[in-house]
Structure formats: structure tokens, C-alpha cells
Amino acid sequence: MKLILLLTLGVILISGCIGQGESELMKQECIQECQKALQEGRTLDDGPCLLNPMSNEDWVCDVAHDPRQPIDDIPENQCSAYRQRLASHFVEVDTDCKFIKSF
């Protein structure tokens, strides 16, 4: 699965289709990582950071509640790379791995 994602990312980067395509790839990578975490029996109720960074190091993948809850604002539950400005973009999914937003 990771190989397919990396190959897809490579094709998009080579073709020069950055931006929307990159955001969509990061969204799919985050959703897949979330689903993997659920299959492994991990609880996502505390809104953990799942990928810090993602395959593109300028992105992180974070779990949050929708609607947002106070636990989502606790720094330990957020991706440190984004908080420390090592990554500029994030993808948020909910505890059921549904896409919330990306920035």
C-alpha cells in the first residue's frame, strides 16, 4: 500500500502537478494511516498525531473530533512538527478516519 502511495506521489511530482494533487495525496495517506491504526486496535479518542511528518515532510496527519473538542487543543495530541513549524501543512481526520480538513 505504501509503495502504491509513493509511486503515485512520484508520478504527480514528476508531472509537475503540485498543489491540489499533493493535498489529495496527503489526504489519502492520512486516511490510510488512520484506518491502519484502527485495524491495529489503537484508540483515537484522544486525537493523536498519526504521521509526524508524512511522506512529504511538509505535511502532518492528525486526528481530531468533529465538532472539535477541548482535547483536540492539547499540545501533546497535536503533531509537534506542525507546532514547531517544521511542517507547514496538515490533514485532519476524525476518529472514524473521515476527512475533516487540510491546510
Domain ranges of the chain: 2-102
pLDDT one digit per residue (tens) for the chain, 103 residues: 654 544 454 544 444 445 679 999 999 999 999 999 999 999 999 999 999 999 999 999 999 999 999 999 988 889 999 999 999 999 999 999 999 999 9
pLDDT at 91: 98
Q: What pLDDT is stored for residue 10 in this prediction?
A: 52
Beta bridge partners of 4: none
Q: Which three cell numbers stand for residue 9?
A: 506521489
Q: What is the pTM of this model?
A: 0.79
Longest dimension (CA), the chain: 41
Q: Which residues contact 16 (CB under 8 A, 6 or more apart)?
A: none
pLDDT, residue 15, reads 43
